[in-house]
Structure 1
């Protein structure tokens, strides 16, 4: 991924409220557009990097469950 893209995504949402962040995520998922995937990846990267080990394990379990559906 291009670091300029990562920087642009972070700059776009850095001052968003939790509600605005949720809207961004929901809109990106609902749109189903491939071009939104890198932005969601950047947001997930932030979540992963700031999560503690227990939170990471929980995310992995949720992901595993979601993939089995």
Structure 2
């Protein structure tokens, strides 16, 4: 069975507007379920690919800070 998770996630989101995309992200994070992680990963990949180098640097800095805070809690 050939299952392409990335394509399936993109297919499910292709008609979503900004409000729906935001709700999807918030719901996935608030639910805290492991099964949501691949979808968030695909969304992050899209954001990363659409970002310039300065935006990527800012994301990496935010991630670094987030990781430090999460591991110190």
Bigger radius of gyration among the two: 2
TM-score by length of 2: 0.86
TM-score by length of 1: 0.91
Q: Gapped runs of 5+ residues in structure 1?
A: none
More contact order relative to length (CA 8 Å, sep ≥ 6): 1
Q: Gapped runs of 5+ residues in structure 2?
A: none
- In structure 2, the residue matched to 1:26 is 26
Large movers: runs of 4+ above 6 Å: none
Aligned pairs, how many?
68
**Alignment RMSD, CA only?**
1.4
- In structure 2, the residue matched to 1:40 is 40
Deviation at 1:3, TM superposition (A): 6.2
Partners in 2 of 1:61 and 1:33 — Cα distance?
25
